[in-house]
Amino acid sequence: MSKRSAAGKKPQTKLGHLGRDPALYRGFVNPPAYRGSTVIFPTFASLVADDQEFSYGRICTPTVKELQESLAELEGGDACFLSSSGLSAITAVLLAFVEAGDHLLVTDSVYKPTRRYCNEVLKRLGVETTYFDPMIGAGIAELIRPNTKLVFTESPGSQTFEVQDIPAIADAAHKAGALVAMDNTWATPLLFKPFDHGVDVSVHAATKYIVGHADAMLGAVIAKGDRCVEALAAIHDAGGMCPGPEDVYLGLRGMRTMGVRLERHQASAIALAEWFAGRPEVERVLHPAFPDCPGHALWKRDFLGSSGLFSVVLKPMSKQALAAMVDDMELFGMGYSWGGYESLILPFDPRAYRSATTWDAKGPSLRIHAGLEDLDDLKADLEAGFERAAAKS
């Protein structure tokens, strides 16, 4: 089956068949990682007309095209642009839709480096950012000004997991003539369909579940509608935001197994979250599929499932006890970039950077990524961690 017949099939089938056409690659199942800068034009007439499908390695290669088309099709967008990281995909979106004198609305739960770009770079360029409570819903209408061009959402927040009312936010934004962008990394193109909920542009840190093995950096922007596609094509082209060939190849390879990996990540994360909920050390579990999570009902209404990342708020515990727990984990690594096959544990404190909302948890918080390891082994590792913490306090 070629990629042309994959369109219209179910998502798991698409994952295996989009973005490859053995007939184009002498029968080989996978398209190769095209390494290339120069593309040769056959004639002067062709050069002048710029009529080749590929013209320069930075702009596009066959490998890039395969993954771009696959992700656009999976999410239901009109076009996809790959970049060298999730963050560069985010900055492309911000730069595509605002200019000096404009106003930007950004969720208070946003990925921290997105906030830094707004507060440092966009501010210097004369763009003002207001942060909004992720639970604001239709109330966002009150924050929209005549010069508000873009509302940037991220649902759920990747540390605090508030699920946002994207349709209500999009409705208010569109009524005022503003566009809506969404960081959809947590749900991947499989578990939330941004364009069915009013989003104009979605962004993915493909570094996470799409690559899926913690071995490459990659970003993707997916756009709906001619206006958004044209603005993004211009910024992507002018900015030279190309990813490396191996990383694109790893993105295509990761995509093949993303569906089965996500099923396992989802099941293990839910099982671990249930386990945490029953522990005496735990104050609260922040997982969109659990009723304690802000916006749980919205998750139930709008999402097709959950991935492997969630948080727990612990009851107060000393720094030494927390360190004793996380320092000697056998299986859970302490690191930022999630979405790989391995389990992670990360203490965090959003108090330092929130501005529109407060974080009033009394104890420390842990962000957990449920990897693909055996569930009993993971629970045993966490249980030993709590025992080390108890021995220190």
Q: By CB under 6 A, name the one of 158, 188, 306, 357 that touches ligand PLP.
A: 158
Is residue 108 part of the contact set for ligand PLP (CB under 6 A)? no
User: Binding residues for ligand PLP, how many (CB under 6 A)?
Assistant: 14
Min dist. Cβ of residue 288 to ligand PLP (A): 14
* Residue 62 tokens, joined: 């066959």
Is residue 207 part of the contact set for ligand PLP (CB under 6 A)? yes
What angle in degrees, to the nearest 10, is found between the helix axes of 86-97 and 226-239? 120
Min dist. Cβ of residue 112 to ligand PLP (A): 9
Q: By CB under 6 A, name the one of 159, 164, 185, 268 that touches ligand PLP.
A: 185
Binding mask 209-228 for ligand PLP (x = CB under 6 A): --------x-x---------
* Whole-angstrom distance, CA of residue 145 vs CA of residue 122: 17
Q: Which of 290, 291, 294, 292 is nearest to 306 (CA)?
A: 290
Count Cβ neighbours within 10 Å for each residue of 9-18 and write b for 16 or more, e otherwise: eeeeebbebb
* Residue 182 tokens, joined: 């969404």
Residue 335 exposure: Cα atoms within 13 Å on the Cβ side = 12
**What contacts 48, CB < 8 A, 6 or more positions away?**
none
User: What residues between 264 and 323 interact with ligand PLP by CB under 6 A?
Assistant: none
* Closest CB to ligand PLP among residues 136, 210: 210
Is residue 162 part of the contact set for ligand PLP (CB under 6 A)? no
Catalytic residue list contains 237 = no
* Closest CB to ligand PLP among residues 109, 357: 109
Catalytic residue list contains 111 = yes
Min dist. Cβ of residue 287 to ligand PLP (A): 16
User: Closest residue to ligand PLP, Cβ-based?
Assistant: 86
Q: Name the residue with tokens 């009150």.
A: 142
Catalytic residue list contains 183 = yes
Supply the DSSP string of 49-86, one letter for each residue: HT-SS--BTTT--HHHHHHHHHHHHHHT-SEEEEESSH
* Whole-angstrom distance, CA of residue 211 vs CA of residue 218: 8
Which of 14, 111, 261, 388 is catalytic? The answer is 111
Catalytic residue list contains 58 = yes
Q: By CB under 6 A, name the one of 56, 257, 337, 375 that touches ligand PLP.
A: 337
Min dist. Cβ of residue 100 to ligand PLP (A): 25
Is residue 85 part of the contact set for ligand PLP (CB under 6 A)? yes
* Whole-angstrom distance, CA of residue 206 vs CA of residue 222: 12
Amino acid at 189: P
Which of 4, 58, 123, 175 is catalytic? The answer is 58
From 58-66, 80-88, 171-179, 284-292, give the range in contact with ligand PLP by CB under 6 A. Answer: 80-88
Which of 102, 108, 165, 183 is catalytic? The answer is 183
3-class secondary-structure state, position 205? strand
How far from each other are the two terminal CA atoms of the chain, in whole angstroms?
Answer: 61
Positions marked catalytic: 58, 111, 183, 208
Binding region for ligand PLP (CB under 6 A) = 85-87, 111, 154, 158, 183, 185, 205, 207-208, 217, 219, 337
